[in-house]
Amino acid sequence: MKKIATIGGDGVGKEVMEAGLTILESLDLNFDYIEAHAGDEYFQKTGLTIPEETVKIAKNSSATLFGAITSTHGEKSPIITLRKELDVFANLRPVKSFEGVNSLFQNLDFLIVRENTEGLYSQIESLEEKKEKEKFKTIKSIATRVITKRASEKICNYAFKKAIEEDRKRVTCVHKANVLKKTDGIFKEAFYNIAKDYSKINQNIVVNDYYIDATAMYLITKPQEFGIIVTSNLYGDIISDEAAGLVGGLGLSPSANVGDNNGLFEPVHGSGPDIAGQNIANPIAMILSIAMMLDFLKEKYYGDQIRLAVENVLKTKKVATPDLGGNSKTMDMADAIKNELKQLI
């Protein structure tokens, strides 16, 4: 029996987890669910944002489902800690438009591949303080941005592997090597080294690179051009929210964090404090993350059926949470998808 760790977290994270689990439990899958804790609420009770136990449960599971956490407390972010501990080096964030959703663009379909273990999210920060008139005053704070050749090559290799697997026509490296010559210089060089290797086995993939600032514009002026974007941690985080905005918002944007041995699946969004507690969060980002988890667990048939059920429900527009312009509740949306799924299977 496959073990699935579930970490709801805070705010809408818990709400979409509950909705997502009703979908999973309606399928004929022999999974054992183990609940684990992380986040602000857990911190209020225990003084820890992520206990060792949660990391252990995630490591011993076939896959981990994560809702979202509020990150006001604690030195280190629980989700970034989990990604590091599980060594899920690739963060995959598909950007896809849906029929029936009023969005800035239709017919978009590309994938952001974000390096997940280093960059500016290495969480190496320091403060330099000086005593001035009985008080300490911060005079300098430093964050270390780690970029290694090994991790850069690994993520670029993964991006090309995905391009072939998903028949994507273009792979774009996003960086800022004109300013960050040493760190992003390594990333860009790793990209072109790997591109050269792949050109020997597949000459059909167009390869290019853009600076991150220009990319922020191209995502709005010519998003149809993108096939796969491969980039470092912080840039990937920022442009994936921007890209979500092109196709209907964070309520529809799933993600997978994958490594050689582990998989961690979560919506792109956070704990949504502005809408938490009202049961109006859109559960689709979580439900599509579950579909990605099923692909990872070699249950692609169910992953495909979930994606189809989501597409069908969005197309009819009968059920829509407030982010999609309606007034349905989280569970109305989950139930509609569950019923559609029943028809399909």
From candidates 282, 289, 305, 328, binder to ligand NAI by CB under 6 A: 282
Residues 6 or more apart in contact with residue 159 via CB below 8 angstroms: 113, 171, 228, 230
From candidates 181, 192, 196, 273, binder to ligand NAI by CB under 6 A: 273
Q: Residue 174 Cβ, how far from Mg ion at the closest point, in Å?
A: 16
* CB of 163 or CB of 275, closer to ligand NAI: 275
Residue 237 binds which entry of ligand NAI, Mg ion, none, CB below 5-8 Å type-dependent: Mg ion
From candidates 162, 269, 307, 329, binder to ligand NAI by CB under 6 A: 269
Per-residue contact flags (x/-) with ligand NAI for residues 12 to 51, judged by CB under 6 A: x---x-----------------------------------
- Whether 174 contacts 235, CB under 8 Å: yes
Q: Residue 5 Cβ, how far from ligand NAI at the closest point, in Å?
A: 15
Q: Six-digit token pair at 169?
A: 């026509």
* CB of 64 or CB of 255, closer to Mg ion: 255
Q: Residue 114 Cβ, how far from Mg ion at the closest point, in Å?
A: 10
Residue 79 binds which entry of Mg ion, ligand NAI, none, CB below 5-8 Å type-dependent: ligand NAI
Using the rule CB under 6 A, is 277 a contact of ligand NAI? Answer: no
From candidates 18, 323, 335, 340, binder to ligand NAI by CB under 6 A: 323
Give residue number: closest CB to ligand NAI. Answer: 270
Q: Residue 112 Cβ, how far from ligand NAI at the closest point, in Å?
A: 15
Using the rule CB under 6 A, is 81 a contact of ligand NAI? Answer: no
Q: If DSSP states are collapsed to H, E and C, what string results for the chain?
A: CEEEEEEEECCHHHHHHHHHHHHHHCCCCCEEEEECCCCHHHHHHHCCCCCHHHHHHHHCCCEEEEEECCCCCCCCCHHHHHHHHCCCCEEEEEEECCCCCCCCCCCCEEEEEEECCCECCCCCEEEEEEEECCEEEEEEEEECCECCHHHHHHHHHHHHHHHHHCCCCEEEEEECCCCCCCHHHHHHHHHHHHHHHHHHHCCCCEEEEEEHHHHHHHHHHCHHHCCEEEECHHHHHHHHHHHHHHCCCHHHCEEEEECCCCEEEEECCCCCCCCCCCCCCCCHHHHHHHHHHHHHCCCHHHHHHHHHHHHHHHHHCCCCCHHHCCCCCHHHHHHHHHHHHHHHC
Using the rule CB under 6 A, is 71 a contact of ligand NAI? Answer: yes
One-letter amino acid at 198 equals: Y
* CB of 185 or CB of 322, closer to ligand NAI: 322
* CB of 68 or CB of 151, closer to ligand NAI: 68
Q: Residue 285 Cβ, how far from ligand NAI at the closest point, in Å?
A: 5
d(CA 274, CA 328): 17
Q: Residue 269 Cβ, how far from Mg ion at the closest point, in Å?
A: 8
* CB of 209 or CB of 266, closer to ligand NAI: 266
* CB of 168 or CB of 329, closer to ligand NAI: 329
The binding site for ligand NAI (CB under 6 A) comprises: 12, 16, 68-72, 79, 250-251, 266, 269-275, 281-282, 285, 323
